[in-house]
Each structure stands twice: as C-alpha cells, then as structure tokens.
A = this chain, B = another copy of it.
C-alpha cells in the first residue's frame, strides 16, 4: 500500500468525555462514560491534487494482485483517509464506485437548478452498508476474530454475512420476533450466517449481544463500531470526486440509526480540513414521521437530549426509535448548518 502520500495517523476518542484509550473494548463503548468512539487524526494534511490523481488512477486498475483488488474498491482506493489496516487483512467485494445520476426532470419538478442521486444500491449486497462493512470486517480479521455478530434483520446482517463469508469467518445474526424483512434475511441465510430469533424486541437483541461480546471472542458489527463509520465516509469522498471536487450546496440523506449521516458529515469536515474541498455543503437528514426521535430531539429539546420512541414506519431500514449515533449526527448538523425534517 505504498503511496506518495504520508499516511494519516488515527486514534480513538470518546465523543462524550474525550477519553482516548488504545483500544475501544469489545462493545465499542467508553469505559468511563459509556458514549461512542470516533476516529480522529491530529495531522490532517496532504497534497490535494496528488491525492485526487492517485485515487483516480486506482479507479482504472485492472490487475489481479491484492493491491489491485483494493484499488478497484470504491472504499479502499481512498484508504489514505482511513485508519490503517494492512492489506493482508482487507476483505473486499469491490464495493462502492456507485454512479451519480443527474436528475433533470426531478430538478425541474422540485424547482432546483441541479439535482443528483447517488445509487448506493449498486453495492455487492445491494445496500450502502457494504462500504462500512468491508472496513469493519477487515478490522475484525486484523484483530484475529473468527466470529462477527450484529443485531439486525435487514441490510446490515446481509452485508455482514457476505463479508464474513468472503473472509472465511463465522457470522451470527440476532433477530427479534416479528417485523422481519424476509428478503434481506434470506440473503444472510444464503451467505451462511447463524441466525437466532429471540423472544424479545430489537433493543433486547442488542442487550444480549452486548453481553455476548463481553464474554466470548465475538466481534460486534452494529453501527456503534467506529470502523463502519470510517468505511462509510468514502461514499462522500467519492461523491465529491464525481462532482470534480466542487461541493454541492446541500446533501440530503435519510436518517435511521444516524451512522450514515455521521459518516458523510465526518468525511465532509475532514475533506475541508485537507483542502480537498473549499467549502462545506449543508448536510440535512430526513426521518419518517413514525420514527422521528432525532427530529424531536432537535425541534423539541434543541438537541439537549434524545427521547427514545416506539418506531413505526413502512420504511423498515429507518424504523429505529433509539438511534445510536444521534450525538455524532447532531454535531454534523450544527457544523454544516443542515436541518432535520420529517415526512409521512
């Protein structure tokens, strides 16, 4: 993975109390205050034009070495902006590199000059989760784990199961009773995940999983895992590359557990600091009215607290009542000047 660029050094920092331990522990929660970790770098400098050219050269790689395979990934070709994982541990399915569509008619209909959509479904398991999962499963491989696990019935478990299989690891999916996305669950089963249905709800599954990872050598892949956030940053880097590094006015994403908006926001802030972009787009988040805890946090409590709700919406992928990454997302809204809205 030699490049002309000095690699950035990342360390973990708790977003609550600022503690910076050497490792995050099995449940990725701060031992002091219980909050989430994020990766921070104190030496964010680079030569923007060299980095841009390097990333683009990799886009046209067709070789068959391990490095070539990583260059062909829309996550790993941006590895200079990610914590270091040695390439022998990298588990990739050539994720990312998804197209950006210019939506002329939608733009006219909505009265904006230019409207684009990034088709994140064009990933190996058909969701954006793959961009974070390739990186987090690789970190599990680097740490020597044989088992990975998550509580999920949808895109996350499908993605985890695929990458675990690719990395010759075992995967465990905990699912609650009822409200199962069968199409997505069948993907996990096809990829060989051990799938356990528990007589509890989603939060109950998360509690049991947290206990499990403390007692057994199982690597937790829910979105509290900061490696997933790092991998998901690359969607924003790639978006800006596709816009020839001219920042759009506004980026709008759906919000469930708020890991994705946190990742995109983090990437924007880092790209600004690195002078890869010259101004920040606003990042705004849309929640379903039936699953709007973050909307209510911002509009009712000014972001001072988040009250978990009972989530109910047809949009199952964002049917989340207690979003893990809400503090990270709140910071992104504030630093980019974005909004949170709800829709029926």
Contacts and interface: CB of A to CB of B under 8 A. Distances in A.
Contact of A122 (B72, B101, B123): B123
Interface residues of A, number: 28
A62 interface: yes
Contacts of A123: 122
Given A56-B60, A57-B60, A99 B124 contact: yes
B241 A62 contact: yes
Interface string A133-148: 0000000000000000
A99 B93 contact: yes
A64 B122 contact: no
Interface in A89-120: 93-94, 97, 99, 101-102, 105, 119
Contact of A63 (B94, B121, B244): B244
A32 B243 CA distance: 52
A123 B119 CA distance: 10
24 contacts: A56-B60, A56-B62, A57-B60, A59-B59, A59-B60, A60-B60, A62-B241, A62-B244, A63-B244, A64-B243, A64-B244, A72-B99, A93-B101, A93-B119, A94-B101, A94-B119, A97-B97, A105-B168, A119-B124, A121-B126, A122-B122, A122-B124, A126-B126, A183-B183
Interface of A: 56-57, 59-60, 62-64, 69, 72, 93-94, 97, 99, 101-102, 105, 119, 121-124, 126, 168, 183, 241-244
